[in-house]
Chains A and B, each alone.
Chain A
């Protein structure tokens, strides 16, 4: 089937009224989630996953994907108007977006954020369409050692890019792997660490863990701080950027799109990192870097393009290799498995309708978001004014219902509450939860790949270094793990000659 036939088939699926409806609901909820500080796309997708059990798998994935890229659009609104990022990928938009709002340019800031998001989101989807099928074809050549090395590389990249000391991120990944081991050992049929709790036989559910770590813990943190929010009162007008705004932003949008897309593809990369990289690049190439942070439009256009393009890129490893690039994709992978789908190289061949339908729905979703966002900014501002003391019980209620209705189990609700407390402590002690989530999802796959590889090589671990693709992936991982030691070694080398002369 050629590219255009595939696209036509994709649009036939995406344009079905039911799928259009779920795409609309997804992007609407995504924008809302992006607007509301304290509820990110990971928690929102987990929260709404049980509501998709009664719809077809393709509608479910279209809706859940819509939440992800919708949140990227919505996140900029709070960054610009309240100086509080709706979600992590919009942190950097605060720097210049809020300053623009204070200078009376909230309209152009919101406008360029929406247009940049649309352009980058659409280009990201085109990239996804072009790259995913050949990559899936190539992935068919992957055996267990290649999969194992790829997953190790994904985890290493994520820990390498995580904020704070690397040992903390590696520790989180190791803990996630352990959590992934709880339950049935699929190769032997024996159970591990279940403590005779029947609900744990299938393992610790991803959804309760995610809702606890990202939803409940966020509420626990927010309620102990001052819950007052001040919205910068300004008339939002001139949402359409001027010709000068466009001239200033065009290259920033293009650069942001390219950076976002390729960082999104990288396992461990994603929207947050790409927005920061884009901002740094814009500052670097600017003739007036000193003006960044005072309200320059490139500081909004670049990062907003990058975080939206990254969403398209992030789908590539998931749909072609079955490996999630970040924690949102990890939840989406869980959702796909619950719906009976196995993302990976065979998905394009076995379920082309779903594959192309989900991708083309993103075009439509991006158009919906552009249409939705500009006229609805007034509504989002009103929602932002809902006091947090009234909002947080509702967020908790959604988490409780979401966790319970997965399997009608109180144990899952309890797991969610426990992980809420754990997530709260993680944040207090500055541990990032993203490597844990990725490792939790990859754990069972990684274990199977590791054991199969060792069976294949009769117990020789060199199999990971003797097969070319696997060796390259492993070398990248070793390099990333060793990289933090470079400054320390340099320091040592610099001190050594000094010591020698002293002697």
Chain B
């Protein structure tokens, strides 16, 4: 039988998070009941997170005793694709300012079209350039949003 179930795992993480928030709120000053301080509500929310996660932990443990075991969350799923998308998003965030909106967007769209569920190269090229140009036209030119420009001015 698996050692812990999904809710036990997540409740344990929340329990630690709740305690951390509670402790970290104290230095901001809890104040008194007639004049609550800056840390008062964060402290209460931290306590609430700790309490509810503890209830969750007990509930999940009782469930496990009834046979609700660990259910791998990634079973049967192509989780690598989610990871690729997530990494692409993070790289986009890092490169947006240095490369500028248009180039960064074209690379981002092209990469996703090719890497997640590979499309033919003409589709990738058209998608990448079309999306970058279209988004630039709509947001920069029409809606006057100030998108980052690269060293080449676009």
Give the B-binding residues of A (Cβ under 8 A).
50-51, 54, 165, 167-168, 170-171, 174-175, 177-178, 181, 185, 188, 190, 192-193, 216, 219-221, 223-225, 227, 389-390, 392-394, 396-397, 400-401, 404-405, 408, 410, 413-414, 417, 420-421, 424, 428-431, 443, 446-447, 450-451, 454-455, 457-461
B70-88 interface bits toward A, Cβ cutoff 8 Å, 1 = contact, 0 = none: 0001000111111001100
Check B14–A171 contact: CB distance below 8 A.
yes
* Alpha-carbon gap, A447 to B116, bound state (A): 44
Q: Across the interface, which residues of B come within 8 angstroms of A54, CB to CB?
A: 143-144
* Alpha-carbon gap, A304 to B85, bound state (A): 35
Asked if B48 CB lies within 8 Å of chain A CBs, one says: yes
Given known pairs A393-B131, A429-B6, the reply for A220 and B86 (CB within 8 Å) is yes
Check A389–B90 contact: CB distance below 8 A.
no
Given known pairs A185-B38, A224-B81, A459-B33, the reply for A429 and B52 (CB within 8 Å) is no
Q: Across the interface, which residues of A come within 8 angstroms of B131, CB to CB?
A: 393-394, 397
Check A393–B127 contact: CB distance below 8 A.
yes
* Alpha-carbon gap, A446 to B148, bound state (A): 37
Check A410–B97 contact: CB distance below 8 A.
yes
Check B143–A51 contact: CB distance below 8 A.
yes
* Alpha-carbon gap, A240 to B80, bound state (A): 46
In the assembled complex, the CB of B106 is this many whole angstroms from the nearest CB of chain A, namely 11
Give the A-binding residues of B (Cβ under 8 A).
6-7, 9-10, 14, 17-18, 21, 24-25, 28, 32-42, 44-46, 48-49, 52-53, 55-56, 59, 73, 77-82, 85-86, 89-90, 92-93, 96-97, 105, 108-109, 112-113, 116-117, 119, 123, 127, 131, 135, 139, 143-148
Check B85–A414 contact: CB distance below 8 A.
no
Q: Across the interface, which residues of B come within 8 angstroms of A431, CB to CB?
A: 10
Question: Which of the residues A170, A193, A454 comes within 8 Å of B33, measured between beta carbons?
Answer: A454
Question: Which of the residues A171, A389, A443 comes within 8 Å of B116, measured between beta carbons?
Answer: A389
28 A-B residue pairings within 8 Å (CB atoms): A50-B145, A170-B52, A171-B48, A171-B53, A177-B45, A181-B42, A185-B38, A190-B38, A193-B42, A219-B85, A223-B117, A224-B79, A227-B117, A389-B116, A397-B131, A401-B135, A404-B148, A410-B96, A410-B97, A417-B86, A417-B90, A424-B82, A443-B41, A451-B40, A454-B33, A458-B34, A459-B33, A461-B33
Question: Which of the residues A168, A225, A390, A404 comes within 8 Å of B113, measured between beta carbons?
Answer: A390
Q: Is the interface of B mostly helix, strand, loop or mixed?
A: helix
Check B73–A401 contact: CB distance below 8 A.
no
Given known pairs A450-B36, A454-B33, the reply for A178 and B42 (CB within 8 Å) is yes
Considering residues B14, B96, B97, B119, which has the most beta carbons from chain A within 10 angstroms of its beta carbon?
B14
Given known pairs A188-B37, A220-B82, A429-B6, the reply for A175 and B112 (CB within 8 Å) is no
Check A393–B112 contact: CB distance below 8 A.
yes
Q: Across the interface, which residues of B come within 8 angstroms of A450, CB to CB?
A: 36, 41
